[in-house]
Structure 1
């Protein structure tokens, strides 16, 4: 029996069920059970994550469940996983990435460029907000919290003219038809790890590590590791605007990174290339390039 800790939101359950089905395909005799939990991040819906403690609010209870033996693994969207895990935990596998880009969603307009002056756009992500403001400084940006279904309902109820969500979440929940525009990385560089699923396990749990090893998608793992190394070097969380997106072809790994400040609107971007076999080195190098261009001052501005 393998027990997967998961949040109760529709997307989290889809992700856990996806991993469950993958493991059952590989190991027909393995019984896999979902252990559904509610996290602080699911409970506090009236404040942006940047103001209430960041993305760790979505995974802490799941980690407690693993440590107490109520679950063996937890499935996360890698964009929700802080750059530094608590002692005693590690990411045992990163699966093949879904569409990594941001999605423009609207019932009345086909692109962000089509929105009328002063239109209301929903997003709580500082990364998305600063990049959207660079494209359309005239828009009114309003807070948007809740799971994917809740956010879509708020749009449908007329609270916003458009909202920005992750393409991957919409696709996984069968809402492909709601995506009016994939925002290019030139317009909106994705969040670190966006579109990729990760499996968190106890550190040095060799039995579980061996069990989930067939799920590893090495190309995605290299790319996400580069992005996470950039974020770790910058010490970035939900309270700062950081984006990173890596692509690889053969032995070449290319990493784009950005740091922005919502108040000033300033954005710093870099792109570095390196070896697929050394993703951490590339991430650190790109972060140091951002720092040399003034990223720390930008991140520290209030």
Structure 2
């Protein structure tokens, strides 16, 4: 039995390893790790960055790469918002803009928006740059069906790439998988 706090991760694990049983868990990393230590679970799926932050990377037995465990759209990205009319602040913030991250998140969030899905939907998206070419890999998971697609475009077309990939996925039945998970006002969005 493996504990995970995300239905999307549980679905991806079921695809990767049909011989395991995933159970939902809640709590901070320490609470979740205690469930393994106490024998309640065989393993838990946690963010590596979170384990690094609390000094427990020694407990990691496997790291899932994005090609096998597609992360949530925008996972790990930081954004800063400011008043558009504040030119001085806008200029200051422009100096820390990382255009590569912005392009990747634009494609990932564009896909999520075009699917009309919120952060609780069983959607994974991962965009990566090679030079100025942006590749977007996406997955929508269901119990009996998986829709997985990828596409590429110039980084300047990141939003279009997300929308076009979503349109292809919707044509393949992704809307049925997103179903009731369309709360776009979710607090985690």
Q: Does TM, normalized by the shorter one, top 0.5?
A: yes
Partner of 1:183: 64
CA distance 1:122–1:180, shift in 2 (3 Å) = same
Task: Give how far 1:207 is off.
Answer: 4.0
Give 1:283's match in structure 2, choosing from 135, 139, 162: 162
User: Which of 229, 232, 235 is the equivalent residue of 2:113?
Assistant: 232
Alignment of 1:66-215 (within 5 A): 120-202=1-83, 204-215=85-96
Residues 208/139 of structure 1: CA separation in 2 closer, same or farther (3 Å cut): same
Return the offset for 1:201.
Answer: 3.8
Q: Per the alignment, in what secondary structure is the counterpart of residue 257 of structure 1?
A: strand
Alpha-carbon contact 1:134-1:265 (below 8 Å) kept: no
Kindly state the Cα deviation for residue 204 of structure 1 after the two structures are TM-superposed. 4.5
User: Could you tell me how far apart the structure 2 residues matched to 1:260 and 1:148 are?
Assistant: 25
Partner of 2:104: 223
Q: Report if the CA contact (8 A) 2:7-2:24 is conserved.
A: no
Report the Cα distance in structure 1 between the residues aligned to 2:30 and 2:91, rounded to whole angstroms: 35
Larger-gyration structure (1/2): 1
CA contact (8 A) 1:133 1:265 kept: no
Structure 2 vs 1, CA of residues 209 and 149 (structure 1 numbering), >3 Å: closer, same or farther? farther
Q: 1:122, 1:164 within 8 Å by CA — same for their partners in 2?
A: yes
Aligned-pair CA distance for 1:220: 1.4
- 2:130 corresponds to 1:268: no
Measured in 2, the distance between the counterparts of 1:259 and 1:242 equals: 5
* Alpha-carbon distance between aligned partners in 2 of 1:192 and 1:154, rounded to the nearest angstrom: 28
Instruction: Identify the match of residue 139 of structure 2 among 238, 258, 261.
Output: 258
Larger relative strand fraction? 1
Q: Separation in 2 of the partners of 1:194 and 1:147? A: 18
Structural mapping, 1:11-90, within 5 Å? none
User: What SS class does the counterpart of residue 5 from structure 2 fall into?
Assistant: coil
| Equivalent pair of 2:122/2:177 in contact (CA under 8 Å) | no
CA deviation after TM superposition for structure 1 residue 128, in Å: 0.5
1:248-282 CA deviation, whole Å, 9 max, x = no partner?
A: 01121100011011xx2321100100011121111
Mapped to 2, the partners of 1:268 and 1:248 lie a distance apart of: 23
Q: Distance in 2 between matches of 1:218 and 1:251?
A: 10
> What is residue 184 of structure 2 aligned with on the other side?
none
CA distance in structure 1 between the partners assigned to 2:29 and 2:92 by the alignment: 31
Equivalent of 2:122, from 238, 241, 250?
241
Q: How many residues align?
A: 181
Q: Flag as ranges the 4+ runs of structure 1 deviating above 4 A.
A: 202-205
What SS is found at the alignment partner of 1:287? helix
Contact 1:126 1:238 in 2 (8 A): no
Quote how far apart the aligned CAs of 1:143 are: 1.3
Shift of 1:172: 3.6
